[in-house]
């Protein structure tokens, strides 16, 4: 099984989060990209799995205002648009690498 645990999470830039993974891979997301990926029940229908958030409604200059670890499997983010219900599991982040893997 391939591991996808972050070794370091860089969040000095409010508009960007970068993750160095323990297998040497690095990924980088803008806050807007993460906001558009938000898997919470407000953004994705729990019954149909359909994304209800319109990606074009997310401003490209969105910032992340708070990042905290959820157990050892995910990060939770609060965005500058006030959205804070998203929990991003590490394998989900790795799978949705904007640069491709």
**Which residues are at the interface with Zn ion (CB under 5 A)?**
38, 40, 42-43, 86
- Name the minimum Å distance from CB 42 to Zn ion: 5
Nearer to Zn ion, 42 or 45 (CB): 42
- For 5, the token pair is 């645990």
CA Rg value for the chain: 13
Cβ 31 vs Cβ 17: under 8 Å: yes
Q: How far is the CB of 22 from Zn ion (least distance, A)?
A: 27
Q: Which is nearer to Zn ion, 82 or 100 (CB)?
A: 82
**Which residue, 19 or 38, has its beta carbon nearer to Zn ion?**
38
As measured in angstroms, the least distance from the Cβ of 83 to Zn ion is 6
Q: Phi and psi at residue 56, in whole multiples of 5°?
A: -75, -10
Half-sphere exposure of residue 68, counting CA atoms within 13 Å on the CB side? 7
Nearer to Zn ion by C-beta: 43 or 74? 43
Least separation, in Å, of the C-beta of 53 and Zn ion? 7
**Residue 100: C-alpha distances to residues 1, 63, 76, 95 (Å):** 19, 22, 22, 8
């Amino acid at each position: 099984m391939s591991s996808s645990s972050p070794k370091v999470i860089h969040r000095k830039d409010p508009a960007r989060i970068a993750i160095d993974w323990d297998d040497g891979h690095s990924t980088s997301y803008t806050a807007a990209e993460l906001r558009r990926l938000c898997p919470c029940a407000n953004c994705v229908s729990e019954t149909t799995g359909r994304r209800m958030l319109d990606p074009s409604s997310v401003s490209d200059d969105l910032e992340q205002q708070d990042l905290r670890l959820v157990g050892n499997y995910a990060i939770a983010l609060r965005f500058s648009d006030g959205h804070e219900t998203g929990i991003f599991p590490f394998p989900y982040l790795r799978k949705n690498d904007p640069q491709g893997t």
